Structure 1
Amino acid sequence: MRLLKQGMFLLKLTIALGSLWILFLLTRNKPGEEKMCNCSGILQGGREALEQAKLLTINKDFQKSVHIPDEHYMSATKNCSEFKLRRKYFTSPLSQEEEDFPLAYSMVVHHKVQNFERLLRAIYAPQNIYCVHVDKKAKSSVLSAIWAITACFPNIFLVSQPVDVVYAAWPRVQADLNCMADLYNSSTRWKYVINLCGQDFPLKTNLEIVRTLRSLKGGNSLHSEEMPAAQVWRMRNAHKIIDGTNQGTGKANDPPPFNMPIMYGSTYIVVSRGFIRSVLEDSRVPALMEWFKHTFIPDEMFWATIQRMPGVSGSTPPHRKYDMSDLNAIARLVKWQGLEGSQDSPDSAYPECHGSHVRKVCIYGAGDLEWMLKQHHLFANKFDIDTDPIPVYCLEKYLRKRALSELQ
């Protein structure tokens, strides 16, 4: 019994000293503290690595050490060559296969510049082209910082017609449409376009994305399914932007033009150049756009509906046999709070969130990464470096290692 007590004392002392050592490291408050986490262990779901990551995340000194203010980017980009070198941007195509299959990105951003820059670095390739839409009501420091970053690259530009984005209203769609029109009219003959927000992050390398998109053979991949009965009110009740929010008018909305079946889906899409040509040039689309301006959360219906229109490049028929859920599409991996739970439960679509929730969407934690990387999606949403930088840091390491190994 005496030996057992001594053993327990030594174990507790070891744990206490280990915790003190971690806290000592944290209080140094130096840049790059993320390197303290064991990403290899985290990606494999190691308990010890995940517990250490959790301890790092909740420490205020650690949070301060990884925060980068907007003004930093204005200073850091005064010498673009040094900025790209220091941030390790790829400045030449990594393969002929990638060079021959350029991609386009529409990026809608309104805050969190650090999130944006790290996302941009993760997806950047010189043969691709990037349009960035900064919300007109974003802070001046956000616009200045993003402008400074984009000015360092010849294939990244700010949208020609920015809009004041209103959540759950038509301007959210218009922001992407304006970027997509600019991308379509650019000199780069890109093959596919992917729309992103500032809190997305890739799960695949550029080469893996290219190979996945090649396999679509001109088709599109996006969430598009029959409108759930519980969501029909979004389109049947007329809405209008009042004082910066999308509000019901108390009136019924007009029927959809051309007796068009309205589908339910997601803001996020992976579509071909031909699809965008159809959106910009099909004579039916302007009337549909005007009708959607009077609905609630049109970004979750517009793209899904266009995808089921006859004659649109890469479209599928509106019959429910062709429905595609967000989990079957490759565009975006999102954990909705209402669908989380035990994998033993038939009502759960995916494991519980290991981070936090905002508007019923999981803000990923380190514990989500092992599951996440087993999925087929190209990107995941949402990440927040201010809340937890470790998932992004570990994904950065993982993707760069894979990209460099593909060169061999």
Structure 2
Amino acid sequence: MNPLDATKSGFLVCIAVCMFIYTFIYLKDTLSEEPNEQKFNENIVECGFYPDELCSALFVGKTAAFKIGNFCQNTYQPKTLSCIQTSCNCSMVLKTLHFITRPLSDEEGNFSLAYIITIHKELEMFVKLLRAIYMPQNIYCIHVDEKSPKDYKAAVQNIVNCFENIFISSKRENVVYAGFSRLQADINCMRDLVHSKIQWNYVINLCGQDYPIKTNKDIIQYIKSKWNGKNMTPGVVQPLHMKHRTQVSYREYVRSGMSYVYPTKNIKAKPPYNLTIYFGSAYYILTKEFVEFTLTDARAKDLLEWSRDTYSPDEHYWVTLNRLNGKTYLISTMNNPWTNSIVRSLTWRAGEPQFRA
């Protein structure tokens, strides 16, 4: 054998040995990681389903919570979004997004909730929210901002078409932040809900950027614990620094892709029936009886009309009506009106959680 042939043979043997060592290491790592891989995939399944502990950790600023949250956010990529946007098979939507198709307990099956969801953007976020709160025994009214793009409206309609207990509000508003149109959107849904064949007990309003940190069962048990038959509309007598909202007349501006509320120089008349105006949260949990009252009572109608040109009327309308005299079922006895009836946890600034009742 000449030196060249010997060199070639040695080189081939070296390659063979290297490939053997690489294959051995690869198989060893694969086999050793398989159990962890299975456990990892099981954990992925939990992403997006009421991560109560994760949310609590986020609020107190634990570093690991942000990493887990980002992981879950990246893991859940709804493959059906493109399908929804092109109107695909409903069975595919239900299967891929794992919508719950039966009541998870007798208690839940016998206590239906109604939801009002006002949306205008971010289809993926809406799908995640709907998927998290959906139960077949509940009913859902979706208000899509009239200003939203046509393809967004069409995509929402496509997913709504797959469910008998989800519908789009029969009347849609050009919603302006802090304007009367935001309150009107909720009322439009309420009018639809009271005529529904589904007999619901309470209504909860949400926006497209909400997400639940409690299960459907948790919510029901909390309502039953001390609020059964009462509303959760937290608030206080209108503070002095909020008086301007109802002392002058405000107008909505909607034009050329811009929308906002601006004050005029017109001074408003006093509230009808000499009502005391309260200030509270725009978000609530209301009994069906109270909703029917607000849609039919003369005082509620007159207060609604008076509120038409106020600033952010949804932050005084419900809480004021809930404290009318002569309707004992409307009144919630609260030691601390902001914290006794917990409806929302809000964060207006990054890293500064504000717990609002």
TM-score (norm 2): 0.76
How far apart, in 1, do the equivalents of 2:102 and 2:124 lie?
A: 24
| AA partner of residue 283 (structure 1) | A
Gaps of 5+ in 2: 1-40
1:146-188 residue CA offsets vs partner (Å, 9 max, x unmatched): 1111110010000011111111111100000000110111111
1:28-47 superposed matches below 5 A = 35=44, 45=57
Gaps of 5+ in 1: 1-31, 338-352, 355-361, 363-367, 378-408
Matched residue of 1:267: which SS? coil
How far apart, in 2, do the equivalents of 1:85 and 1:37 lie?
A: 16
| AA partner of residue 153 (structure 2) | L
* Residue of structure 1 equivalent to 2:340: 328
How far apart, in 2, do the equivalents of 1:125 and 1:184 lie?
A: 19
Aligned equivalent of 2:310, options 285, 289, 295:
295
| AA partner of residue 315 (structure 2) | E
How far apart, in 2, do the equivalents of 1:72 and 1:102 lie?
A: 30
How far apart, in 1, do the equivalents of 2:56 and 2:306 lie?
A: 48
1:173-192 superposed matches below 5 A = 173-192=183-202
1:353-377 residue CA offsets vs partner (Å, 9 max, x unmatched): 43xxxxxxx6xxxxx7xxx9xx897
8 Å Cα contact 1:221-1:271 kept in structure 2:
yes
In structure 2, relative to structure 1, the CA distance for the partners of 1:128 and 1:42 (3 Å cut) is: closer
How far apart, in 1, do the equivalents of 2:303 and 2:170 lie?
A: 23
* Residue of structure 2 equivalent to 1:277: 292
* Residue of structure 1 equivalent to 2:178: 168
Q: Report the Cα offset of residue 296 of structure 1.
A: 0.8
In structure 2, relative to structure 1, the CA distance for the partners of 1:149 and 1:51 (3 Å cut) is: closer
* Residue of structure 1 equivalent to 2:232: 221
How far apart, in 2, do the equivalents of 1:217 and 1:51 lie?
A: 36
* Residue of structure 1 equivalent to 2:242: 231
Aligned equivalent of 2:120, options 107, 110, 123:
110
Larger radius of gyration between Structure 1 and Structure 2: 2
* Residue of structure 2 equivalent to 1:98: 108
How far apart, in 2, do the equivalents of 1:302 and 1:68 lie?
A: 41
| AA partner of residue 159 (structure 1) | S
1:15-26 superposed matches below 5 A = none
8 Å Cα contact 2:234-2:341 kept in structure 1:
yes
Q: Which of the pair has the greater relative contact order for Cα pairs under 8 Å at 6+ separation?
A: 1
Instruction: Establish whether residue 142 from structure 1 lines up as the match of residue 152 from structure 2.
Output: yes
Aligned equivalent of 1:197, options 181, 189, 207:
207
- What percent identity do the matched residue pairs reach? 33
Aligned equivalent of 1:267, options 282, 300, 305:
282
In structure 2, relative to structure 1, the CA distance for the partners of 1:125 and 1:258 (3 Å cut) is: same
* Residue of structure 1 equivalent to 2:15: none
Q: Report the Cα offset of residue 51 of structure 1.
A: 6.4
In structure 2, relative to structure 1, the CA distance for the partners of 1:52 and 1:117 (3 Å cut) is: closer
1:341-363 residue CA offsets vs partner (Å, 9 max, x unmatched): xxxxxxxxxxxx43xxxxxxx6x
* Residue of structure 2 equivalent to 1:345: none
8 Å Cα contact 2:80-2:93 kept in structure 1:
no
How far apart, in 1, do the equivalents of 2:135 and 2:45 lie?
A: 29
How far apart, in 2, do the equivalents of 1:97 and 1:64 lie?
A: 32
In structure 2, relative to structure 1, the CA distance for the partners of 1:118 and 1:171 (3 Å cut) is: same
| AA partner of residue 331 (structure 1) | V
How far apart, in 2, do the equivalents of 1:224 and 1:102 lie?
A: 26
8 Å Cα contact 1:73-1:148 kept in structure 2:
yes
* Residue of structure 1 equivalent to 2:18: none
8 Å Cα contact 1:163-1:171 kept in structure 2:
yes
Q: Report the Cα offset of residue 50 of structure 1.
A: 3.9
Q: How many residues align?
A: 305
Q: Report the Cα offset of residue 311 of structure 1.
A: 3.8
| AA partner of residue 241 (structure 1) | E
8 Å Cα contact 2:54-2:69 kept in structure 1:
no
8 Å Cα contact 2:119-2:143 kept in structure 1:
yes
Matched residue of 1:324: which SS? coil
Moved runs in structure 1, 4+ residues, more than 3 A?
34-48, 50-57, 62-72, 311-314
Instruction: Establish whether residue 86 from structure 1 lines up as the match of residue 96 from structure 2.
Output: yes
Q: Report the Cα offset of residue 56 of structure 1.
A: 6.6
Q: Report the Cα offset of residue 74 of structure 1.
A: 2.2
Matched residue of 2:279: which SS? strand
Q: Report the Cα offset of residue 89 of structure 1.
A: 0.7
* Residue of structure 1 equivalent to 2:28: none
How far apart, in 1, do the equivalents of 2:280 and 2:74 lie?
A: 35
In structure 2, relative to structure 1, the CA distance for the partners of 1:214 and 1:288 (3 Å cut) is: same
1:102-145 residue CA offsets vs partner (Å, 9 max, x unmatched): 11001111111111111111111111000000000011121111
1:186-235 residue CA offsets vs partner (Å, 9 max, x unmatched): 11110000001111111111111111122212011122211111110110
Q: Report the Cα offset of residue 92 of structure 1.
A: 0.9
8 Å Cα contact 1:170-1:299 kept in structure 2:
yes
RMSD: 3.3
1:50-96 residue CA offsets vs partner (Å, 9 max, x unmatched): 46458879xxxx97995879644224x51111211111111011111
TM-score (norm 1): 0.67
